[in-house]
């Protein structure tokens, strides 16, 4: 009987150890030549940007830009999802994201195209937009994803030749993005 109790105690201890270790999610390692831009006290994702970029710490969202001379930027917004709301990135983009932009910008906003994408292995949609203000056309790529808890939009903003110049970096940033 004592031997059985010892075995049961060992098995339980082992099971509890495994459960404890499995529940301790390990933060992803910061990629070489990159830095963490997101503040994990407020958000549940990891946005890594090149080390040379400037993180905008005065913003209500996570954002970073290339330099004072090149304001090409990447930003992330996160909105909690109510459990009864539709669970597709398309729904959120069409019913929340775009109406908000349209109310501010009207016909200055041009939706160009969209395609299927992935964000940290989660199904996403990638939208291409242009916004013209004061004679300058800003090019946007918005990647929208939805998890069980939140809706996320990762937005790339640039202008003119800088759009193409920084596009590979943006795509690299997307591959390094992680949900917590």
pLDDT tens for each residue of 138-160? 999 999 999 878 899 999 999 99
pLDDT tens for each residue of 50-75? 999 999 976 668 999 999 999 999 99
Q: Is residue 23 part of a domain?
A: no
CA–CA dist 146, 78 (Å, integer): 10
CA–CA dist 47, 34 (Å, integer): 10
pTM of structure? 0.81
Retrieve residue 75's tokens: 């930003």
84: CATH:
3.40.1000.10
The contacts of residue 115 (CB under 8 Å, 6+ apart) are 125, 126
Q: Is residue 76 part of a domain?
A: yes
In angstroms, what CA-CA distances link 95 with 38, 74, 133, 134?
Answer: 26, 22, 24, 27
Q: Is residue 4 part of a domain?
A: no
Q: How many domains does the chain have?
A: 1
């Amino acid at each position: 009987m004592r031997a059985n109790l010892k075995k049961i105690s060992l098995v339980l201890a082992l099971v509890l150890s495994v459960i404890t270790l499995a529940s301790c999610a390990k933060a992803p390692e910061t990629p070489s030549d990159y830095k963490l831009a997101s503040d994990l006290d407020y958000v549940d994702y990891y946005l890594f940007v090149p080390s040379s970029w400037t993180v905008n710490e005065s913003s209500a969202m996570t954002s970073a830009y290339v330099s004072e001379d090149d304001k090409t930027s990447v930003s992330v917004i996160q909105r909690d999802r109510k459990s009864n709301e539709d669970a597709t990135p398309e729904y959120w983009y069409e019913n929340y994201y775009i109406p908000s932009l349209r109310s501010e910008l009207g016909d200055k906003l041009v939706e160009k195209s969209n395609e299927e994408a992935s964000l940290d292995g989660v199904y996403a949609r990638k939208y291409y937009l242009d916004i013209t203000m004061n004679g300058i056309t800003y090019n946007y790529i918005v990647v929208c994803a939805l998890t069980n808890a939140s809706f996320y939009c990762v937005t790339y903003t640039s202008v003119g030749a800088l759009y193409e110049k920084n596009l590979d970096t943006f795509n690299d940033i997307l591959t390094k993005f992680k949900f917590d």
